[in-house]
Amino acid sequence: MRKEKPKELTKVIPIAGDITSEQLGISESDQALLCKNVSIVFHSAATVKFDEKLKLSVTINMLGTKRLVELCHRMMSLDALIHVSTAYCNCDRTDVSEVIYAPPYNPYDVISLVNWLPEDLLDQLTPSLIGKRPNTYTFTKALAEHMLLKEAGNLPVAIVRPSIVIASLKEPFAGWVDNWNGPTGLVSALGQGLFRTILCEKNFTADMVPVDIVINLMIAAAWKVGTSKPESLLIYNCCTGQQHPITWGQFVEYAMRETRRHPLEGCLWYPTGVLRMNRSINKFYGFLVHYIPAYILDTMARLAGKKPIMVKVQDKIAKAVECLEYFTLHQWQFKDENVQTLIKLLDKKDREIFQFDVKKIEWDKYVERYVLGFREFLFKQRPESLPSSRKRMMRLYYMHQFTKLIIVLITWRFLMAHSKKARELWTRLMQMILQIIRLIPFF
């Protein structure tokens, strides 16, 4: 913007506020400015931490929404309010349509409970309150939708529900990403050689959507609401699983391939990964390939007088995996009839400018840009470093294969030394091979 259209930035007026405060922490003069000038509101402020404490999650995701709607009622020329929710707010059901489902509790009762109950007691009650939902995020977002339905009144409102939001498809740059949320942190750890096994059903749909597709849909939804003035609240499930699915197995396969082709600087080991459905085997294998190397590296760091960090890194990865686990072991069908109808309402030019048709995603090419994106925008590594990183990756590949050979030889020697049955099987195998060799005609 500064290079191409610097004057456009004068249109942006920052307003100081705090979504956890009364009246959003906005001064009276700024509230008056907003109420006089704003015609479209995009409400995307939320805590997306899966393990957030219920009190803070309610304060931001529910009370913040209520306070914003109160401000919107005072706006003199409001054409559209677009509330960003999540497709997983109804993750307690497998088929999710573009409707608001009745929540397990009255949202206002939950707000009252959070206000007067001590936080330690509230933390103890949280698992029973959220019920079948996996975390406070999906729980409070579901309650916020129902509360919005009551609070909005005659306001022109639409709800956009994205699934797992990841790097951009095209804008502002292909592969742009600015956070470690969701799969990004795990794919990054995979690329560094720090992460190798996860509990996941490889044939389930990985419902992920690029961030710019979500934003384009939000803009188009605002246009629809602002121009047609629908009588009822519109909901858009912004997802890929219904129209253009990719499985977790395919996603991990693409990610491994691209992290090897476009390796990170200083990666510790050759990227490999396995999706497992047996929890015990996954836990045991994770200890072998995650924690044992971490303890060895930390011991070496202590001996060298450096700060040990690898076990702490693995603890963080394990926590992130635990938060994502629910979504890798379940599958949903998100209906998106409203989204498909909205695509058809746009003319050809607008469909190109505000592209939110997920069928246009080429998953293999997208994952390549995704890997290059977090390499550049999160790790701050320049493309010029790729040749040297690829040479290092080749060395790591040979080390990886050599290590596997050593492990096989050690295991074989152990079995030969301690197992009579193994020795008998080895003898039979050698006899069979000799018999086959005798039968081969030599000229």
Pairing verdict, β 164-166 and 40-43: unpaired
**Residue 358 near residue 243 (C-beta atoms within 8 A):** yes
pLDDT of 163 reads: 95
* pLDDT tens per residue across span 310-364: 999 999 888 888 888 999 999 999 999 999 999 999 999 999 999 999 999 999 9
Rg (CA), the chain: 27
- The alpha carbon of 233 is separated from its chain's Cα centroid by a whole number of angstroms, namely 27
Query: What is the pTM (predicted TM-score) of this model?
Result: 0.89
Percent of the chain with pLDDT over 70: 99
Q: What is the pLDDT of residues 180-235, one digit of tens each?
A: 888 998 899 999 999 999 999 999 999 999 999 999 999 999 999 999 988 889 99
User: End-to-end alpha-carbon separation of the chain, Å?
Assistant: 76
DSSP state of 138: H
Helix (H) or strand (E) holding 372: helix 363-377
> pLDDT of 28-84, one tens digit each?
999 999 999 999 999 999 988 888 899 999 999 999 999 999 999 999 999 999 999
**What CA–CA distance (Å, rounded) separates 263 from 390?**
6
Distance CA(301)–CA(182), nearest Å, equals: 30
Q: Which residue has the tokens 């609070």?
A: 151
Return the closest-CA partner of residue 290 out of 266, 328, 319.
319
For residue 236, which of 351, 138, 335 has the smallest C-alpha distance? 335
Element (H, E) at 260: helix 248-261
Q: At what angle do helices 248-261 and 363-377 cross, to 10 degrees?
A: 50
Task: Supply the DSSP symbol for 76.
Answer: T
The 10s digit of each residue's pLDDT in 377-407 is 999 999 999 999 999 999 999 999 998 888 8
